[in-house]
Chains A and B, each alone.
Chain A
Amino acid sequence: MPTDEERRQIEEELKKAAHKQGSCVDALKIVQRHRGWVSDEISGIAGMLDMTPDELDGVATFYSLIFRRPVGKHVILVCDSISCWIMGYEPVREHLKRRLGIGPGETTTDGQFTVLPISCLGACDHAPAMMVDDELYLDLTNDRVDEILEKYK
């Protein structure tokens, strides 16, 4: 069930909406912001949106950035689309693996980082690119990746 704070924030979103269901992605994001991910216990949220739990589950499983399993404190999204492939996202991913000991879809044992692949970040003129949480990082090299990881330790 949603906490009081989650419920309050979802209700705030619903005030702006002509159709409650239209706010479901915002509601899922609110829950994810609080908990890091969205568990299967979503019937309470679905009720607020006039949706069945199955309908909300269908939406939640559709989107790549609604996490349905626990993720680390920081999520590293490595762009693997064509321009980043040409410019070498694979070495970046290899370097992350050496440094963190995890590949795509995995979380470090200390719960600090999750690495995920992501489609084109629209930063192709500065490839390879990745995001850590809300921050975009460009022109990646091994040294640059090391610097970035330091910031999040």
Chain B
Amino acid sequence: MAERPLTKNIRTDRVPLSLKEYEAAGGYQALRKALREMSPKGVQKAVTDSDLRGRGGAGFPTGQKWSFVPMGEDAPRPKYLIANADEMEPGTFKDRLLLEGNPHQLLEGMIISAYAIQADVSYIFLRWAYKLAAVRLERAIAEAYENNYLGKNIIGSDYGLEMYLHTSAGRYICGEETALLNALEGKRATPRAKPPFPQVCGLWGKPTIVNNVETLSNISHIVNNGPDWFKGLSLSPDAGTKIYGVSGRVKRPGAWELPMGVTIRELFEEHAGGMREGYKFRSVIPGGASTEFLMEEHLDVKMDYGSVQKAGSRLGTGAMIVIDDRTCPVGAVLNLEMFFARESCGWCTPCREGLRWIEQILRAIENGEGEPEDIGVLEEQCRRLAPGNTYCVHAPGAVEPLQSALKVFRDDFERHIREKRCTWK
């Protein structure tokens, strides 16, 4: 059976390992190794060589992100490392598993990563709704302080790190890394213009790295086992394992850690058990709400960054949402755009106004009040909300499922308008 480094120590009931149990399972050995045998640059090199890419959705190479942080005596201080635990991409529930099931794995990854960029302070930015995770993280942080894995002179080294848990108060946009920084500073969580990039000028104007929970949870394993081992976990050019999720009308919805690059078919048929009785597969959104629809002909596409992109969508968070034959695709897109319109932070006009307009048109079409020219208006809005017109990628992400739906479900849109009703109702 394939190795599952991220989830092998997560119990079925998700009761997390205490610090002692985590240590007994080999925990905090990677931190010892990093602090005693490796330089910060050495840790950075191991992560760069591992080809680890960000698991929050964008897939940016983690080592490369770290390499932009100013190092040495002259670097601005304090420097920050932030775990992005604001998981809120519809359809996505992978970080919840890691946060609830093995908080020390995240902490160890954070401490090593903070050492690699010589950060002084770290935050876990947790979404409000993850109550159980909050309790378990608080406990784990306290245990780590008690055992000198946090604080000054960590396990006898020269290196020290403080860690805080910040629990947010809602809003999807907080997961956008620059909006997250504003949120932590106590401002409205609107995104910032880039450049300057957070790696150079982030939290309170100081160098800051923001990494996703799953990304950081991989770090101790890379340090323990090396970059080549990490690359060997994968079935594809993108390294490591991935926690994939499947939801919708499948027999066994769930999340599984599998080698990067398993096919959609394997995930859907073997792990999720295929469709429930009476339902047929129609389509799948492969990586959370802001990715484009894939169809039956794409079932053999590998779930890695390159392959999904080649098929015309994005791996995103690796959270597949299956659309069945009895679910109206226009209704599904309306639901997605309602989410994006509501969660737009309102900072820039195209997103604030455009997404609301899209939602209204889609609602009209779904309610049988659409006009033939509406499809053209939707296509026009997709162009206007393309990358480059807004501060962040909220709006470009929002129109990804819409523009693909207008192609692959064209007949459904036209029939709604022609027959002046939703034919699924």
Q: Which residues of A contact B (CB under 8 A)?
A: 16, 18-25, 28-29, 49, 51, 55, 58-59, 62-66, 77, 80-83, 85-87, 118-127, 131, 134-136
Give CA–CA (A8, B273) in the complex, Å: 54
Give CA–CA (A29, B247) in the complex, Å: 33
**A66-B169 in contact given A122-B129, A124-B93, A126-B253 (Cβ < 8 Å):** yes
Task: Evaluate contact between A125 and B183: CB separation under 8 angstroms.
Answer: no
Q: Which residue of B lies closest to A60 (CB)?
A: B169
Is B289 in contact with chain A by the CB < 8 A criterion?
Answer: yes
Residues of A within 8 Å of B343, CB to CB, are: 119
Interface string of B166-201 (1 = CB under 8 A from A): 111111100000000001111111000000000000
**A120-B92 in contact given A65-B128, A82-B321, A82-B339 (Cβ < 8 Å):** yes
Q: Which residue of B lies closest to A21 (CB)?
A: B186
Q: Which residue of B lies closest to A134 (CB)?
A: B131
Residues of A within 8 Å of B188, CB to CB, are: 58-59, 62
**A119-B172 in contact given A62-B188, A82-B335 (Cβ < 8 Å):** yes
- B253 contact from A58, A118, A122, A124, Cβ within 8 A: A124
Of listed B128, B183, B185, B323, residue having the most chain A CB within 10 A? B128
Task: Evaluate contact between B247 and A125: CB separation under 8 angstroms.
Answer: yes
Is B332 in contact with chain A by the CB < 8 A criterion?
Answer: yes
Residues of A within 8 Å of B129, CB to CB, are: 77, 118, 121-122, 131, 136
Give CA–CA (A121, B128) in the complex, Å: 10
Is B417 in contact with chain A by the CB < 8 A criterion?
Answer: no
Of listed B91, B95, B130, B183, residue having the most chain A CB within 10 A? B91
How many Å from the CB of B415 to the closest CB on chain A? 20
Known: A120-B339, A124-B253. 16 other contacts (CB 8 A): A16-B164, A19-B185, A23-B186, A51-B186, A81-B90, A81-B91, A86-B327, A119-B170, A119-B342, A120-B92, A120-B289, A122-B88, A124-B93, A125-B246, A125-B247, A136-B132
Give CA–CA (A28, B289) in the complex, Å: 30
Task: Evaluate contact between A86 and B332: CB separation under 8 angstroms.
Answer: yes
CB contacts between A and B, total, < 8 Å? 139
Task: Evaluate contact between B169 and A119: CB separation under 8 angstroms.
Answer: no
Task: Evaluate contact between A63 and B185: CB separation under 8 angstroms.
Answer: no
Residues of A within 8 Å of B108, CB to CB, are: none
Task: Evaluate contact between B321 and A83: CB separation under 8 angstroms.
Answer: yes
**A124-B92 in contact given A82-B336, A86-B321, A136-B131 (Cβ < 8 Å):** yes
Interface string of B111-134 (1 = CB under 8 A from A): 000000000010000011111100
Task: Evaluate contact between B186 and A19: CB separation under 8 angstroms.
Answer: yes
Give CA–CA (A73, B323) in the complex, Å: 37
Task: Evaluate contact between B204 and A63: CB separation under 8 angstroms.
Answer: no
Give CA–CA (A19, B331) in the complex, Å: 45
Residues of B within 8 Å of A119, CB to CB, are: 88, 90, 170, 172, 339, 342-343
Is B255 in contact with chain A by the CB < 8 A criterion?
Answer: yes
Contact count band on B:
35 or more
Q: Which residue of A lies closest to B346 (CB)?
A: A62
Give CA–CA (A122, B289) in the complex, Å: 12
Give CA–CA (A118, B92) in the complex, Å: 15
Give CA–CA (A82, B324) in the complex, Å: 13
**A125-B93 in contact given A22-B186, A120-B88 (Cβ < 8 Å):** yes
Interface string of B335-371 (1 = CB under 8 A from A): 1101100110100000000000000000000000000
Give CA–CA (A20, B187) in the complex, Å: 11
Give CA–CA (A24, B187) in the complex, Å: 9
Residues of B within 8 Å of A24, CB to CB, are: 186
**A22-B184 in contact given A65-B170, A124-B91 (Cβ < 8 Å):** yes
Is B87 in contact with chain A by the CB < 8 A criterion?
Answer: yes
User: Can you list the 6 inter-chain pairs with the closest CB atoms, starting with the nearest?
Assistant: A21-B186, A63-B169, A64-B170, A124-B247, A125-B253, A81-B90
Task: Evaluate contact between B289 and A86: CB separation under 8 angstroms.
Answer: no
Residues of A within 8 Å of B90, CB to CB, are: 81-83, 119-120, 124
How many Å from the CB of A58 to the closest CB on chain B? 5
How many Å from the CB of A64 to the closest CB on chain B? 4
**A25-B321 in contact given A82-B91, A124-B93, A125-B254 (Cβ < 8 Å):** no
Q: Which residue of B lies closest to A121 (CB)?
A: B129
Task: Evaluate contact between A64 and B91: CB separation under 8 angstroms.
Answer: no
Q: Which residue of A lies closest to B135 (CB)?
A: A134
Task: Evaluate contact between B183 and A21: CB separation under 8 angstroms.
Answer: no
Interface pairs (28), CB distance under 8 Å: A21-B185, A21-B187, A23-B186, A25-B168, A29-B167, A62-B189, A63-B169, A64-B169, A82-B90, A82-B91, A82-B289, A82-B336, A85-B335, A86-B248, A87-B248, A119-B170, A119-B342, A120-B289, A122-B130, A123-B93, A123-B96, A124-B91, A124-B92, A124-B245, A124-B247, A124-B321, A126-B253, A135-B131
Q: Which residue of B lies closest to A133 (CB)?
A: B131
How many Å from the CB of A116 to the closest CB on chain B? 10
- B169 contact from A22, A28, A131, Cβ within 8 A: A28
Task: Evaluate contact between A120 and B89: CB separation under 8 angstroms.
Answer: yes
Give CA–CA (A9, B331) in the complex, Å: 46
